[in-house]
Structure 1
């Protein structure tokens, strides 16, 4: 599993433009946006998408993150 942080709105080795999406439950811009390309997932802040850092996750790391959200294992203690 791996993940990395890129600079301001920088997506490494991305040939095609990413299609960003956010949850329909997001009633404000205080959410994150997610994009997928090949076997990588990218996450950025929706409040300032052009200026925010971009996190990238490989498929295994993303699956672990989503699993943790669903099971509640990522909740602070």
Structure 2
């Protein structure tokens, strides 16, 4: 797949009818914060081009495996 670090990304977000205005406001504020702080926050992550993953610089060995296990059925 090559180095995808510069590839722009996107997300798909579904808003359920039961989502509150406060929850939507929180999401919008989070997107704004990401747009305003992405350069500074990016310094907290290392990019692995082999796995195309960003790993937090404070990540403990094995923590990624622990998180992946949360989603195993």
Shorter-chain TM-score above 0.5 = no
Q: Which has the larger radius of gyration?
A: 2
- TM-score class, shorter-chain normalisation, is under 0.3
Q: Which one has the bigger strand percentage? A: 1
Q: Which one has the bigger helix percentage? A: 2
